[in-house]
């Protein structure tokens, strides 16, 4: 027999966990949009795309509440205050227009 | 390949049970590993110079705390020896500097990955390969074990698994193990860490997130026979500062100067492909030059700084070719504007020549690879978004086990 050390450490030390995945679309009532980019005057941008998504989600799934945040730097994680403002939402859609 | 991530690891097992257990629990990315045996881990910790519970930092994206013991557990799985652990710890410490943006590097859609570059005396002490097959380990245990340890730490402690949350589109074979060593002796120029300001340091680790090597073969440059005999004359300099001072008298002949420039133009051409992130966002780039090419260039008067400056001036594209409208004309309007470019790039001028890095110093030159034909490799990066080169000095006397590390 050999004695092992778990290379993952303890689960308690994980500072960040993935959010629970949405399993049933019919239960979604509140959706957040997290944009990796600012709104542009012209050309494609994710904040503009979220307005189209909002309309589709209202019409098709009956989603009633939306919240939007824009990350100041696209390549860096959203800070904890920004993440906290999505608390209670059923899902968050994150993106960047290309 | 994630396996049963929440399943607990039994404290004791039969050695033969490890391979299947490691796959079932998702403790590896698909390659086989050694078991993280407590006895082996204890030996690695003893070689680290740190107590087992010393925490180097939190590994993104999961944020799990990387104690020396857990780093050593992953290093044991990678096949590291105790003398490798200071390199692994220094590399992880460098990656955790906020400027490196490790969370972004690991999870981005872009295929970059932290390359570990070891320079100085440790290269010899650890038996690291600097010759043939440089980017695939060169047949040396240390190169692959260190690179593999980094991968497993970011896998098991960071939770950097494909899709959840890693969004990398195409992948990068270097993610399995990405570590090279700089040729410590057979080079005409100062070492990478010295050029980056760590002077008086015997050995160092530099981390830089980049794509895989893209080769610049020096085809098509006619080399007059009159300069061949005098080309391979440079010897390694003991004076790092003086090796960066170039004068016109250093250049053997106008013909030799011309050949050197044509070689570097080939390298520059490889650096500024339209589809790489540097062409659009600048940032930093790695250029690896083979020892024979470096010696030959040095013999013709090319210093490290002069090569960097030449590449920076030459590896440029016309703005009107970088940004285009659907009809192929230059895209110069406000919607095409790149906010991240510095003001000295005139974004209204389609003929503006745009470099691939912010400065000559952002082209990181490393001399390594087989000492045969002149050749270079270019590694583009994530541009301005992160993964910038960070160097850390290694403790002196990294290995007393020279010769044990060759595979």
**Do B197 and B309 belong together in one domain?**
no
Q: Tell me if A15 is assigned to some domain.
A: no
Residue labelled with tokens 């490691």: B22
**Do B367 and B230 belong together in one domain?**
yes
Q: Say how many domains are in chain A.
A: 1
- Rounded distance between C-alpha atoms, residue B84 and residue B275, angstroms: 37
Mutate to test the interface with A, among B11, B18, B158 (most CBs of A within 10 A): B11
Q: Does A12 reach chain B within 8 Å, measured CB to CB?
A: no
3-state secondary structure of B132: coil
Are A4 and B156 an interchain contact pair (Cβ–Cβ within 8 Å)? no
Please, what is the angle between helix B85-95 and helix B38-48, to 10°?
70
Contact criterion met (CB below 8 Å) for B211 and B381? yes
Contact criterion met (CB below 8 Å) for B100 and B196? no
Q: Would you say residue B21 has pLDDT above 70?
A: yes
pLDDT in tens, chain A (98 residues): 999 999 999 766 666 777 777 778 888 899 999 998 877 666 678 888 999 999 999 999 999 999 999 998 888 888 889 999 999 999 999 988 87
Q: Tell me if A90 is assigned to some domain.
A: yes
Helices (H), B238-349: 254-271, 277-281, 291-299, 304-314, 319-322
Average pLDDT over residues B31-51: 96
Q: Would you say residue B240 has pLDDT above 70?
A: no
Q: Tell me if B171 is assigned to some domain.
A: yes
Are A1 and B156 an interchain contact pair (Cβ–Cβ within 8 Å)? no
Length of chain A: 98
**Do B158 and B296 belong together in one domain?**
no
Q: Does A98 reach chain B within 8 Å, measured CB to CB?
A: no
**Do B160 and B245 belong together in one domain?**
no
Q: Say how many domains are in chain B.
A: 2
pLDDT tens column, B367-400: 999 999 999 999 999 999 999 999 999 998 655 4
**Do B372 and B242 belong together in one domain?**
yes
Q: Tell me if A17 is assigned to some domain.
A: no
**Do B158 and B241 belong together in one domain?**
no
Helices (H), B300-377: 304-314, 319-322
Q: Tell me if A24 is assigned to some domain.
A: no
Are B334 and A8 an interchain contact pair (Cβ–Cβ within 8 Å)? no
Among candidates B11, B27, B77 on the partner chain, residue whose Cβ is nearest the Cβ of A3: B11
Q: Does A17 reach chain B within 8 Å, measured CB to CB?
A: yes
Helices (H), B300-341: 304-314, 319-322
Contact criterion met (CB below 8 Å) for B138 and B129? yes
Q: What is the ipTM of this complex?
A: 0.85
| Residue B24 Rama label (left phi>0; alpha psi -120 to 50; beta) | alpha
Burial class (CB in 10 A: 0-12, 13-18, 19+), B302: buried
Of the listed ranges B131-135, B190-194, B252-256, B345-349, the one predicted with least confidence: B252-256
**Do B167 and B223 belong together in one domain?**
no
Q: Does A1 reach chain B within 8 Å, measured CB to CB?
A: yes
The reported pLDDT for the residue numbered A23 is 79
Please, what is the angle between helix B38-48 and helix B68-78, to 10°?
120
Are B36 and A4 an interchain contact pair (Cβ–Cβ within 8 Å)? yes
CB atoms within 10 A of CB B25: 21
Residue-range definition of the domain harbouring residue A60: 41-98
Between the CA of residue B379 and those of B37, B115, B183, B288, B366, what are the distances in Å?
36, 10, 18, 8, 11
Mutate to test the interface with B, among A1, A2, A4, A7 (most CBs of B within 10 A): A7
Residue B231 — very low, low, confident or very high, per pLDDT cuts 50/70/90? very low
Residue-range definition of the domain harbouring residue B175: 15-211+388-393
The reported pLDDT for the residue numbered B4 is 62
Q: Would you say residue B251 has pLDDT above 90?
A: no
Shortest Cα–Cα distance, B83 to chain A (Å) = 19
Q: Tell me if A26 is assigned to some domain.
A: no
For residue B64, the chain A residue with the least C-alpha distance is A14
The whole-chain average pLDDT of chain B stands at: 90
């Amino acid at each position: 027999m050999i004695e092992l050390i778990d290379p993952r450490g303890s689960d308690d030390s994980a500072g960040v966990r993935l959010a629970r995945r949405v399993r049933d679309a019919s239960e979604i009532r509140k959706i957040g949009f997290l944009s990796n980019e600012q709104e542009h005057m012209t050309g494609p941008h994710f904040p503009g795309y979220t307005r189209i998504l909002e309309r589709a989600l209202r019409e098709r799934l009956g989603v009633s509440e939306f919240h939007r945040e824009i990350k100041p730097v696209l390549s860096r994680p959203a800070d904890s205050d920004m993440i906290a403002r999505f608390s209670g939402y059923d899902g968050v859609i994150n993106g960047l227009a290309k | 390949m994630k396996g049963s991530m929440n399943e607990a690891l039994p404290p004791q097992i039969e050695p033969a049970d490890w391979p299947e257990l490691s796959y079932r629990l998702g403790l590896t990315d698909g390659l086989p590993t050694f078991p993280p045996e407590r006895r082996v881990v204890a030996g690695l910790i003893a070689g680290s110079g740190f107590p087992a519970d010393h925490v180097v930092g939190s590994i993104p994206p999961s944020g799990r705390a990387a104690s020396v013991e857990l780093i050593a557990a992953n290093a044991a799985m990678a096949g590291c020896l105790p003398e490798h652990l200071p390199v692994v710890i220094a590399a992880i410490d460098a990656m955790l500097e906020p400027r490196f943006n490790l969370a972004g590097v690991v999870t981005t859609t872009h295929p970059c990955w932290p390359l570990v570059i070891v320079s100085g005396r440790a290269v010899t002490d650890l038996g690291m390969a600097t010759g043939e097959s440089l980017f695939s380990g060169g047949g040396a245990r240390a190169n692959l074990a260190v690179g593999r340890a980094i991968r497993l730490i970011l896998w098991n402690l960071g939770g950097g698994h494909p899709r959840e949350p890693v969004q990398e589109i195409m992948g990068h074979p270097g993610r399995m193990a990405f570590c090279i060593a700089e040729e410590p002796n057979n080079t005409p120029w100062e070492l990478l860490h010295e050029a980056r300001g760590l002077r008086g340091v015997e050995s160092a680790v530099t981390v830089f997130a980049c794509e895989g090597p893209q080769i610049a073969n020096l085809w098509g440059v006619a080399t007059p026979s009159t300069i061949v005999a005098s080309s391979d004359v440079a010897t390694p300099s003991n004076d790092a500062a003086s090796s960066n001072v170039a004068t016109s008298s250093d250049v053997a002949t106008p013909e030799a100067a011309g050949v050197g420039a044509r070689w570097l133009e080939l390298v520059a051409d490889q650096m500024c492909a339209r589809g790489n992130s540097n062409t659009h966002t600048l940032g930093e780039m790695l250029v690896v030059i083979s020892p024979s090419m470096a010696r030959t260039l040095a013999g013709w008067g090319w210093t490290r700084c002069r090569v960097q400056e030449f590449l920076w001036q030459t590896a440029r594209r016309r703005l009107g070719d970088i940004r285009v409208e659907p009809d192929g004309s230059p895209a110069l309007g406000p919607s095409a504007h790149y906010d991240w470019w510095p003001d000295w790039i005139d974004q209204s001028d389609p003929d503006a020549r745009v470099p691939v890095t912010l400065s000559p110093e952002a082209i990181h030159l490393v001399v390594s690879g087989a000492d045969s034909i002149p050749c270079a490799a270019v590694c583009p990066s994530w541009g301005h978004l992160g993964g910038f080169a960070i160097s850390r000095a290694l403790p002196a006397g990294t290995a007393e086990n020279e010769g044990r590390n060759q595979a």
